[in-house]
Amino acid sequence: MNVLIVYAHPNPRSFNQAILHTLDAALRDLGHLTQTHDLYRMRFRAVLDSDDLNRNWRGEPAEDIRREQESVLWAQGLAFIYPIWWFGPPAILKGWIDRVLTRKFAFEFGSDGMKGLLTHERALILNTLGGDEALYQQQRWHELLVRPMTEGILGACGVRTVVQRAFYEVTSVTQTARRTMLDEVRELAGGFRTQK
């Protein structure tokens, strides 16, 4: 399977970077082909402007958007790795979503409402947080983290199976706990299956 990994963290020494390397290596070990788009390293322009909107309506996306869309089409599986900041992704990833997952590419509106156009079998979302899981569950904040990306974006755009895993307290847990988290990342990589 071809898997596109979209990565959004500005610190090259972050735990997110360890997750990225672990996932990429595990996918390759399983025989998958991967592309990694490190949005900060790419200096991806995250602001959807009026020129983008006009070009999208004409079906003539800007060159950087077209390249990203080609990579999305190349992939049968998608993976997103990013920290949760203020209950959502970093702005650069939200900008990637706004600019790349456009109407007529990722979704369309018809007489029956919105229809997803992506045909990916699977997407994996890996998040890191500084807070503890018990508080997020108690306050029902976990739902705020999961549903916008899994259902509101990827599910609505047609991705068949979306799996999300959050790793809590990454700024304060032990190295042993971090190694356990990375072991889980390797296991999650096994969920991608080669297309028949």
pLDDT above 90: residue 153: yes
- Phi and psi at 113, nearest 5°, equal 100, -150
Q: What is the mean pLDDT of the chain?
A: 91
Local confidence band at 51 (pLDDT 50, 70, 90 cut-offs):
very high
% of the chain residues with pLDDT over 90: 70
* Cβ(142)–Cβ(136) below 8 Å: yes
pLDDT above 90: residue 118: yes
Helix (H, G, I), strand (E, B) or coil at 1: coil
What is the structure's pLDDT at 110?
86
pLDDT above 60: residue 195: no
pLDDT above 50: residue 77: yes
Q: 113 is written with which tokens?
A: 């409402």
Please state whether the predicted TM-score (pTM) of the whole model is above 0.85: yes
Local confidence band at 194 (pLDDT 50, 70, 90 cut-offs):
low
* Lowest mean pLDDT across 20-24, 30-34, 177-181: 177-181
Residues forming beta bridges with residue 165, ordered by sequence position: 126
* Cβ(81)–Cβ(5) below 8 Å: yes
What is the structure's pLDDT at 143?
74
Q: From residue 10, give the alpha-carbon distance in Å to each of 17, 81, 156, 193.
A: 10, 12, 28, 30
Local confidence band at 92 (pLDDT 50, 70, 90 cut-offs):
very high
- Phi and psi at 82, nearest 5°, equal -165, 155
- Phi and psi at 117, nearest 5°, equal -110, -10
**Average pLDDT of the residues in 86-99:** 94
What is the structure's pLDDT at 29?
96
pLDDT above 80: residue 139: no
pLDDT above 90: residue 148: no
Local confidence band at 196 (pLDDT 50, 70, 90 cut-offs):
very low
pLDDT above 90: residue 193: no
Looking at the structure, give the CATH architecture of the domain made up of residues 2-189. Answer: 3-Layer(aba) Sandwich (3.40)
Write down the domain spans for the chain. 2-189
